C-alpha cells in the first residue's frame, strides 16, 4: 500500500487552542465526514458541520489522494532545476522545500513542520509525510510562488529534455505545473484566510 496525503487549510488560532498532545488526533478525526457529501474528485471541500468549520480540505485532481505524484514532482524538479534561471530556481526551491520536497542536498531530510505545532508524531494513524505550516510560513510560501509563477513557463522546454517521464506520475510539464498550481491554490487560500496548512498521511 502506498502513502497517501490529505491536505487541509486550518484556522490556526483554533488549532493552537487544542491541547498539543491532542492536535493530531483532532485533525485526523476532523479531516473527513462519514457521508458522501465530503467526497470530491478535485478541489475544495468545506465542511458544513459547525464543529468542522475551522478547516477545509483540498483534493488534488487525478492523484486519488496518493502522495506519489508529490514525490515525483519533487524528483522532476531535481532533474530540471539546474536548467532554471537563478530567480526561478531560488523561488521554487523555497516553495517546494517548504511543502514536500526534501531539498537539493544529497541525503537531506527536510522538516516540513513548523516548530511547536506537534510535540511528536506518535499520534499519527499511519506513517508518512507530515506537513504543518503556520500563517507566517504560509505568507513566505505564497511570496515564493508569486515569484516562481512569473517565469515558470520558461521551464517547459528544459523540462521536456530533462524531466519528462511518459507513462508515470507527473509525466510532463503540464502535470508538473498542474500539481504545483494545486499547492499554490492551497497556500493562497490559507493566506487569504490568515490560516495555516496541514498535510496528513491519511
Q: For the segment 12-57, what is each residue's pLDDT rounded down to a tens digit?
A: 999 999 999 999 999 999 998 765 566 777 899 999 888 899 999 9
Cβ neighbors of 125 (< 8 A, separation 6 or more) are: 28, 201, 202
Which run of H or of E encompasses 55? Answer: strand 55-59
> Rounded distance, CA 115 to CA 73, Å?
26
- Does the pLDDT of residue 1 top 50, yes or no? no
Is 51 part of a structural domain of the chain? Answer: yes
How would residue 107 be classed by pLDDT, with cut points 50, 70 and 90? low
Place of cell 493566506: 191
Is 181 part of a structural domain of the chain? Answer: yes
The closest alpha carbon to 180, from 55, 116, 84, 54, belongs to: 84
Is 38 part of a structural domain of the chain? Answer: yes
- Does the pTM exceed 0.85? yes
> Rounded distance, CA 170 to CA 180, Å?
11
Is 185 part of a structural domain of the chain? Answer: yes
Q: What is the mean pLDDT of residues 80-99?
A: 96
Looking at the structure of the chain, the number of domains it has is 1
Is 56 part of a structural domain of the chain? Answer: yes
Is 192 part of a structural domain of the chain? Answer: yes
> Rounded distance, CA 183 to CA 115, Å?
21
Q: What is the pLDDT of residue 88?
A: 97
Q: What is the mean pLDDT of residues 149-172?
A: 95
Is 1 part of a structural domain of the chain? Answer: no
Q: Are 133 and 145 in contact (CB under 8 A)?
A: no
- By residue range, what is the domain housing residue 105? 6-200
Amino acid at each position: 500500500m502506498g502513502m497517501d496525503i490529505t491536505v487541509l487549510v486550518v484556522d490556526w488560532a483554533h488549532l493552537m487552542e487544542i491541547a498539543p498532545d491532542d492536535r493530531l488526533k483532532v485533525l485526523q478525526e476532523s479531516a473527513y465526514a462519514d457521508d458522501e457529501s465530503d467526497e470530491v474528485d478535485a478541489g475544495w471541500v468545506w465542511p458544513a458541520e459547525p464543529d468542522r468549520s475551522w478547516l477545509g480540505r483540498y483534493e488534488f485532481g487525478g492523484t486519488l489522494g496518493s502522495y506519489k505524484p508529490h514525490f515525483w514532482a519533487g524528483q522532476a524538479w531535481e532533474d530540471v532545476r539546474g536548467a532554471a534561471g537563478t530567480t526561478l530556481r531560488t523561488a521554487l526551491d523555497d516553495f517546494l522545500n517548504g511543502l514536500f520536497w526534501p531539498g537539493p542536498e544529497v541525503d537531506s531530510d527536510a522538516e516540513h513542520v513548523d516548530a511547536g505545532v506537534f510535540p511528536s508524531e506518535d499520534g499519527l494513524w499511519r506513517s508518512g509525510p507530515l506537513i504543518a505550516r503556520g500563517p507566517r510560513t504560509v505568507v513566505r510560501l505564497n511570496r515564493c510562488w508569486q515569484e516562481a509563477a512569473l517565469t515558470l513557463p520558461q521551464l517547459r522546454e528544459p523540462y521536456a529534455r530533462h524531466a519528462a517521464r511518459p507513462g508515470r506520475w507527473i509525466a510532463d510539464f503540464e502535470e508538473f505545473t498542474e500539481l504545483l498550481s494545486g499547492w499554490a491554490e492551497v497556500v493562497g487560500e490559507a493566506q487569504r484566510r490568515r490560516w495555516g496548512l496541514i498535510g496528513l498521511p491519511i
